[in-house]
Amino acid sequence: MTTLKGVNKKETGLFNVYPRFDITLVKAKGVSVFDENGKEYLDLYGGHGVISIGHSHPEYVDQINRQLQKIGFYSNSVNMPIQDELAQKLAEQSGYPEHQLFLCNSGAEANENALKLASFHTGKKKVVSFKGSFHGRTAAALNVTDNTKLSAPINKDNFEVEFIELNDKKALTEALKNKDVCAVIVEGIQGVGGLDAPSEEFFNFLAQSCKEQEALLILDEIQSGYGRTGHFFAHQYANVQADIITMAKGMGNGFPVGGVLIDPKIEASNGLLGTTFGGNHLACAAGIAVLNTLKKESLSENVMQVSNTLISELKTISCIKNIKGKGLMLGVEFDFPIKELRLKLLNDYQIFTGASANPNLLRILPPLNVTTEEIMPFAQALKNLLK
């Protein structure tokens, strides 16, 4: 079978924007993926942290199959009780029982709607974001992403954005002092940026400052949410409440679904937000399967147990400079670029890992039901490659 590596777009019909490994995956189960030749790989990246409850989880497959037998899609012009079921389960498990849910299709779309809501609610349009941030590749989301290389001329300067350093109280105070900011948007833990995060002290200062300066606090938990860090959302380590929380990736275990949790003080009205595909029957079935599995299998507890064991083992490897992140959203940092190491893990040990904007950092985002026994070959492979 031909893969896309080295094949031009005229032959494939695809717009060639993705650098790809020369691997064709045809099957997946649990924490393993299999190529066309039957070779098994340990998936410690989950397609950018999307696979939350494991590939082809029985409940996930069953929920989607049963829903497909009934109805797969209709638009938001009719009642859909399955949306209410998802919203109720999410409210119960997320720690946000009063927040209301808007369903969409992706993380970028969730952030677009979150920023729009903040501007609607406050009547203002300046946004504060953070250096190293990544919030998506669409218009408003890209404007608050700290990477000018991704912005086309049409994206630039659509509204004022001030980028400040994480954990810099003085810079935050200065940015908010004129009360002209509609929102501060921050990731629970930076993903693409390299696993840096607000400290618990800064989170509390941020929440209080937003309240005092009449700006909404938007928590981008697209990668760091849904139990990945051991709490449902990463910002809950600091015991703070956000006005708006955006979600995607692990929310559907691979089925395209995103969501925005919205404080009830933000009023809804007909046409304020909208989507054709968001919250469709199959997406909701996938979302319910994820929430059911997180609860039934106590995956938050598993995340912490596996994480603690893995971190203890990694700390015995002397050339690891730093271990960033929480739970099963980890960054393993070295004092050299990891590009070749990552390729050797894949080609010699059949282990998928991730990269980030930090060239020296391996990103680890396995399914949340990975076991200690399944993840430890990664630590052993590092020892073998680095000795």
Q: What is the pLDDT of residue 302?
A: 98
Q: What is the pLDDT of residue 156?
A: 81
Location of structure tokens 């609860």: 295
Examine the pLDDT at 51 and tell me if it is beyond 90. yes
Examine the pLDDT at 9 and tell me if it is beyond 80. no
pLDDT tens track for 114-132: 999 999 999 999 999 999 9
pLDDT tens track for 14-47: 999 999 999 999 999 999 999 999 999 999 999 9
Examine the pLDDT at 5 and tell me if it is beyond 70. no
What pTM does this model have? Answer: 0.94
Q: Please, what is the average pLDDT of the chain?
A: 95
User: Which percentage of the chain shows pLDDT scores above 90?
Assistant: 93
Spans of all domains in the chain: 58-296
pLDDT tens track for 156-198: 888 999 999 999 999 999 999 999 999 999 999 999 999 999 9
Q: If one looks up domain 58-296 in CATH, what number appears?
A: 3.40.640.10
| Residue 104 binned pLDDT confidence (cut-offs 50, 70, 90) | very high
Q: What is the pLDDT of residue 243?
A: 98
pLDDT tens track for 295-336: 999 999 999 999 999 999 999 999 999 999 999 999 999 999
